[in-house]
Amino acid sequence: MRRSGWRSGFVALTAMVLVLTGTVVASAEYDSVPPPPGGTFSDDDQFPEEGFIEAIAGAGITVGCNPPANDRFCPDLALTRAEMASFLVRALQLPPSPDNPFSDDAGSNHEEDINALAAAGITVGCNPPDHDRFCPGRPVTRGEMAAFLVRGFGYAEDPQTDFFIDDAGSPFETDINRLAAAGVTAGCDGDRYCPAATVPRRQMAVFLARALDLSAQVPAPRPAPPYPDVGEGKRIIYANAEHRVWLIDENGQLVDTYPVSGREGIPAPGTYQVFSKSVEARALTGGITMRHMVRFAYGPRVPYGFHSIPRWPDGRPLQTEEEIGEFLSGGCVRQPDVKAEALYNWAPIGTTVILLP
């Protein structure tokens, strides 16, 4: 069951918004309904920030990223300035404003929230000194995010500590230090803050939960779908259309099940056996590498197998874990890195693989 609406998931909510010299100070107390088993969203199960995502979902601050279904959060997607506006307006319960100070947000789903944010003095735009544009589609940087949060939550005290070594000269340095002093950020890598880096949506969930003093709401494990009643003994079942594998042990007990990314209709349905394994594998072109390859079928040029998300020579993944569950492969079966290693260790050569349509 999904939680939706601003007050859905609340047992009690006390909020106060004061506008003092252009600064909004928010005080809120939330008592959220625990998330359903598996969580509100289907695409954040592998992320350590899931509990914080659930916390802001329970508080009505996010409803997802894929309307109208809104069953995904898109945790790795870079947060835009427009989305940031909506998050903050919901978190601070800012009233709407009749003013329309920016020329570039007409038609945006977030236009009303952008206007409310400007009226509260939390943003002045993106193009000084004119300040007549908001740049709604541009990803928000960590430096900008610090300024938004400091203005929104009223972190006005100037700290005596310079927390990070990489923000000297940044126009956001004071805001970054205020955010650190408030305990909302610990940086991006030890003594660095990465002010120019973009903010994934999952990180924004953490910042907002900390600022609102929301406890992480870690959901109970998602109930595993029953595995298809095919085959016997220790086996891997791969349902191509469902983008899912099941690992079954010798006693018929489910060891694990999780979504994967393959290619539609490839390989053909049938029963196969694992015939080769290698920790490292390489594509024929492009210098692309895969880890924990478990081969079970022959293709026209190369064998097909289960493996981790492939990477370019510079280490960039060909797809994100968020995109697992879509047809994105050339024929092999891509898995989250942790799952690929686990299957590699679990399935010896000779293990049965049953491929369903």
- pLDDT at residue number 254: 94
Q: What is the pLDDT of residues 186-227, one digit of tens each?
A: 999 889 999 999 999 999 999 999 999 999 999 988 787 889
Q: Which residues of 59-75 are buried (b: 16+ CB within 10 A; e: fewer)?
A: bbbbbbbeeeebebbbb
Amino acid in position 268? A
Instruction: Tell which wins on pLDDT, 222 or 183.
Output: 183
Domains and CATH numbers, the chain: 10-211 (no CATH), 235-356 (2.40.440.10)
What are 333's strand-pairing partners? 306
Gyration radius from the chain CA atoms: 24
- Which tokens hold the place of 154? 């009223």
Q: What is the pLDDT of residues 305-356, one digit of tens each?
A: 999 999 999 999 999 888 899 999 999 999 999 999 999 999 999 999 999 9
- Which tokens hold the place of 228? 């298809």
Length of the chain: 357
- Which tokens hold the place of 129? 């000194």
**What distance lies between CA 147 and its chain's CA centroid?**
22
- pLDDT at residue number 40: 94
- pLDDT at residue number 32: 60
Q: For every residue of 268-284, which 3-state class applies, written as one string?
A: CCEEEECCEEEEEEECC
Q: What is the pLDDT of residues 9-43, one digit of tens each?
A: 322 232 333 333 344 444 445 556 678 888 999 88
Q: What is the pLDDT of residues 84-134, one digit of tens each?
A: 999 999 999 999 999 999 999 999 999 999 999 999 999 999 999 999 999
- pLDDT at residue number 157: 85
Cα dihedral value 292, 39, 86, 70, nearest 10: 80
Q: What is the mean pLDDT of residues 240-257?
A: 95
What is the value of pTM for the model shown? 0.66
